[in-house]
A and B are shown apart, each in its own frame.
Chain A
Amino acid sequence: MNRILFAVFLLLYGAATESLAQNFGLGASGLYNFQTESVGAGIRGVVFPNKVISISPQVSYFFPFNKVHEITGGLSLEAKFARTRSFNIYGLAHGGYNRWISYNASALHDAQPNNWNFEGGIGISGQKCLRFFAEYRYNLKFRETHLNAGLIYIFGCKGRSGKSKSKKADDCPVYR
């Protein structure tokens, strides 16, 4: 598991340093699943964070002290349908592999460790270089909702308070 996390980190970090100015962001988040009453943490990358359609590879992990201990890795597609100077609102669809580590402690009849999840949801994100985001997502397989909120740093966008110092970074924050 640690190898997978490390590989994901390297992948995201490598991509981030590939001169993807404002085309790539990296962030972390906290998660709360309302149905399983579980707390987790996640990391994610965002490709084309300022475009209408963004792609977000992400990994989430719900800690062992929870009623549900699991890790999920997958990919989100985000479609921004409302944009202001300070925030975006977007819809998202996510597909991923889920490893339910504590499945054998569940009374669920067909509980199994390996699952494919599909989620839909809605989110809001800021426009600055270090931008907040918050998502409310629904897991179709387990019929559960969870809140995912955190921060994403957009590479190549170095201005304070989101103000760019470079010409190239003038697109950040984006509002057209």
Chain B
Amino acid sequence: MKIFQNYFVITFALISGLTLFSCSKDRIEERDELNDYQSPNAYLDSKKQPEQDFLIDTNGTGPIVGNQGTLIWGSKNCLKLPNGDTIAFPFNVKLVELYTPKDMIYYRMPTVSSNRILETEGEIRLRAFKDGTELSLRPGCAYKVTMPNSIPQVDYMRVFYGFENSNIIDWTDDLGSLGVTQFENPIWGVDTIGYTAMIERLGWINCDRLAGTTSGATVTFTSEVDDLTNVAIFAYLPATKTVMQAYNQSLGILPNGTLTKIVAIAQDASGNLFSYYNELTINNSQSINITLSQISDSDLTAVLDGL
């Protein structure tokens, strides 16, 4: 039996050695706590372009002039209440001007039409109200809008209209799909100020051109240290001045070979700002692992100004 005593000693030593020195509980280790963030929407709202309010109380020659140079000409007679009634003076015209990627990001207003990126020269939101009731344009009536631009391209940009699609503003140049019969030229004309077009539907208006196709790359964002659930992630494509926003940590569709600037913005429970910035050329669908760093308001503003 001595030989078996030796075996048991060897076995015990082997088991003890394996258990004590070579074993791993990696498969059941708890995941590291991820950094948790609040939605940055309150911060973005505090930085976004204000909606300008113009009280129109008499007929005039116009135009209404926005803070950033948008010009608007329109008639009271073109406006109607939801029940179709005409309106009397006074009424209000409200205007939001988004001409930079920074302002589009603050307003979370990407320039994407049904997953196809848009080349853009600017977005505005033009609305009219009578005693707090939103008005619409009569069929066959239009408002003239001029967007300032120093080097407009002739017969290039089209009028796109924004519409809500699953709580996201999507864009279309097909007015018929929005229930409006089109009778004006959908191409932005060019003048000494910039781009000019006749607008046949109030709301979000974009000076755009389709720049992407339905094929290309999708980018997925992951992080080993940050919970990305409440992180706002944007992409800016300098070649087409396109602003994109990631939804559910997924961004697409980007044309392959596109230089893309990625900006992620978050805010913790104490109100501290965090961001991530990267520039890369997207050549195929990929996953990007990001880590947010604390940043000051002024530094983040500088990052967005530099897009």
Contacts and interface: CB of A to CB of B under 8 A. Distances in A.
B26 interface: yes
Interface stretch (A6-14, A17-25, A29-37, A39-47): A29-37
Contact of A145 (B15, B27, B32): B15
A82 B3 contact: yes
A90 to B, nearest CB: 11
A138 interface: yes
Contacts of A81: 7
B23 interface: yes
A16 interface: no
Nearest to B28: A67
A82 B4 contact: yes
A170 B7 CA distance: 29
B291 to A, nearest CB: 15
B177 interface: no
Contact of A138 (B4, B18, B25, B27): B18
Nearest to B31: A107
A35 B25 contact: yes
A63 B144 CA distance: 70
Interface string B2-20: 0110010001001100110
B24 interface: yes
A106 interface: yes
Nearest to B24: A143
Given A34-B19, A82-B4, 9 more contacts: A35-B24, A36-B28, A67-B28, A68-B28, A89-B4, A106-B27, A106-B29, A108-B27, A145-B18
Interface of A: 34-37, 67-68, 81-82, 84, 89, 106-108, 111, 122, 136, 138, 142-145
17 contacts: A35-B24, A67-B27, A68-B27, A82-B4, A82-B7, A89-B4, A106-B26, A106-B28, A106-B29, A122-B15, A138-B18, A138-B23, A142-B24, A142-B26, A143-B22, A143-B23, A144-B23
